[in-house]
Amino acid sequence: MDFALSEEQEMLRNSARDFLIKECPKTLVRQMETDEKGYSPTMWKGMADLGWTGLVFPEAYGGSGMTFLDLCILIEELGRALAPSPFLPTVVYCGLPILAAGTEEQKKQFLPKIAKGELIMTLALTEPSATWDAGGIAVKATAEGDDFVINGTKLFVPDAHIADYLLVVARTKDGKHKEEGITLFLVDAKSPGIKLNALKTMGSDKQSEIIFNKVKVPKKNILGKLDHGWSIIQDLLPKATLAQCALMVGGSQQVLEMTVSYAKERVQFGKPIGSFQAIQHKCANMATDVDGSRFITYQAAWKLNEGLNCALEVSMAKAWVSDAYRRTCAEGHQIHGGIGFIKDHDMQLYYRRAKASELAFGDADYHRELVAQQIGL
């Protein structure tokens, strides 16, 4: 087995790290927590200019034609820097479904603009039922002439306040099975009848409740087939979950590095605290968690990249990484002591995002249930 990155992947990782060190200091991360937009348009343009927003799209749509595995390497660096941007909602949650299921007209309309950084999109999937399966879709879309009319409420929608388009998952008919009768719509975010309510979150990211009140959408804006949209979501969920895992791997790596650095510098009883066995063992646990998270994430990402069945590996990765990131942050807090708990220190930035990331696309317990099903229990 060869776990080494290719020369091209090394270049991608190094260039991403160099860019983010320069353009995304922690002062910007803190500033964006209270900023109305929550992201820097200048940094977003820089990311697009580097080809990040078009990384996995074919050259015919303005992209670079790279792989999902390459995308995970880039996302890991975004997580390491805590980069505030609508990258995942736009590129992963919406761009990949359009690439997989869109008509040629839809691909030409949306993908080149995403690749150039000219279009921000987000996925409106979850609802107050707080489930990740098809049974949780209650928002209704009813046919009226050449349009569909959407009514209902979506919850925890990331970056909806800056989105140009929403990819809305709605129920268009009731079927025998909960997966039947679900349709995806590309909805102009400025359509009449859309109301956003900002949510206050632990991660200080920008999430919204979206209320749809008689929102009209042309039938041509259906993504995929009418009443058969859940298969698109089933294709997306492993990709979105692994993207979240990669984001967490990057964050936990940075927590490990700054904690080890602190343990070497902090002196107590006349010697660096890193010389004490208790601290060494904590750092060893952190290193084990970080490397374990990376290996299990990239194993699943490789299988997905190769078109192999990876449902078991994806859920194993999310279950493990969700817990491991939080454990790494907790150990980092312990080693830093009191200073790690003040708001001026970077540790709290990573811990809050670790807790928020646990819930994204299913927490550890949710994915442990899926693993149990996969192994026949």
Whole-number Å distance between alpha carbons of 243 and 222: 25
User: What's residue 1's pLDDT?
Assistant: 65
Give 317-334 pLDDT, tens digit per residue. 999 999 999 999 999 999
Residue bearing tokens 């698109």: 232
User: What's residue 204's pLDDT?
Assistant: 86
Give 5-17 pLDDT, tens digit per residue. 999 999 999 999 9
Domains and CATH numbers, the chain: 7-119 (1.10.540.10), 123-228 (2.40.110.10), 231-374 (1.20.140.10)
Closest CA to 314 of 203, 236, 231, 230: 236
Q: Which residues pair with 151 in a beta bridge?
A: 140
The answer to whether residues 138 and 171 touch, using CB atoms and an 8 Å cutoff, is: yes
Residue 175 has pLDDT above 90, yes or no: no
User: What's residue 29's pLDDT?
Assistant: 96
What number of CA atoms fall less than 13 Å from residue 68's CA on the CB side?
25
Q: In 3-state terms, what secondary structure has residue 85?
A: coil
70: left (phi over 0), alpha (psi -120 to 50) or beta: alpha
Helices 311-336, 347-359: axis angle to 10 degrees equals 150
Whole-number Å distance between alpha carbons of 94 and 107: 11
Q: Which residues pair with 122 in a beta bridge?
A: 166
Rounded to a whole number of angstroms, the distance between the first and last alpha carbons of the chain is: 30
Number of helices followed by number of strands (H, E) in the chain: 12, 10
- Prediction pTM value: 0.95
CA angle at 44 for the pair 39 and 49, rounded to the nearest 5°: 175
Closest CA to 198 of 32, 362, 87, 37: 37
